[in-house]
């Protein structure tokens, strides 16, 4: 009998659509930031960190540390709920920005925090109803190891 071993690509295939959608949502946000004069690099990083902190309670660096990631993409290691909430935070930020039309970095930062906070409130409500944390240390590498142990 052949042993079935899961690889990262095997687990990634079913989530490909979600990942592509998250890329689309992120692109819409960065396009909006471009339209509002936000500069790539440092300003993108600061706004992304503001959104992440507002919805997850962690900075991007703290979040990557929680998941024991070094250079890997954080989105690739988010659970379904984490990814959906991240997308909600980014999509909400985009919509608020389109309506409010911020004129400078500080206004963009305020909107980033608002978008993230809306998703953060949703996260807190989910945690209250389920009794479980949404933001976890679970990552794709750990999931593969666990699934492979189950198959052995």
pLDDT of residue 1: 38
pLDDT interval class at 55 (50, 70, 90): very high
pLDDT interval class at 147 (50, 70, 90): low
| Residue 11 Cα distances to 1, 103, 126, 142, angstroms | 22, 42, 25, 12
Helix count and strand count (H, E) for the chain: 6, 0
Which is higher by pLDDT, 19 or 148? 19
The b-or-e profile of 37-68 (16+ CB within 10 A means b, else e) is ebeeeeeeeebbbbbbbbbbeeebeebbebbe
Cα 22 from Cα 79, distance rounded (Å): 13
Which is higher by pLDDT, 27 or 150? 27
pLDDT of residue 81: 94
Q: What is the mean pLDDT of residues 27-50?
A: 96
Q: Encoding tokens for residue 9?
A: 């690509």
Question: 7-11, 78-82, 140-144 — which is least confidently predicted?
Answer: 7-11
The b-or-e profile of 1-22 (16+ CB within 10 A means b, else e) is eeeeeeeeeeeeeeeeeeeeeb
Are 61 and 47 in contact, with CB atoms under 8 Å apart? no
Cα 132 from Cα 126, distance rounded (Å): 8
pLDDT reading at 142 higher than 80? no
Cα 77 from Cα 79, distance rounded (Å): 7
pLDDT reading at 9 higher than 60? no
Q: What is the mean pLDDT of residues 86-90?
A: 98
Task: Report CA 25 to chain centroid distance, whole Å.
Answer: 11
pLDDT of residue 18: 76
pLDDT reading at 99 higher than 60? yes
Which is higher by pLDDT, 44 or 1? 44
């Amino acid at each position: 009998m052949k042993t079935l071993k899961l690889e990262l690509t095997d687990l990634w295939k079913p989530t490909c659509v979600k990942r592509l959608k998250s890329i689309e949502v992120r692109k819409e946000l960065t396009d909006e930031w471009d339209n509002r004069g936000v500069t790539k690099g440092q300003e993108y990083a600061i706004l992304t960190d503001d959104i992440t902190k507002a919805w997850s309670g962690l900075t991007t660096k703290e979040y990557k540390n929680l998941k024991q990631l070094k250079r890997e993409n954080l989105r690739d290691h988010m659970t379904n709920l984490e990814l959906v909430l991240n997308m909600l935070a980014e999509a909400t930020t985009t919509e608020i920005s389109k309506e409010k039309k911020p004129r400078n970095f500080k206004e963009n930062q305020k909107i980033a925090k608002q978008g993230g906070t809306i998703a953060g409130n949703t996260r807190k409500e989910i945690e209250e109803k389920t009794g479980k944390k949404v933001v976890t240390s679970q990552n794709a590498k750990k999931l593969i190891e666990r699934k492979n142990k189950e198959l052995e």
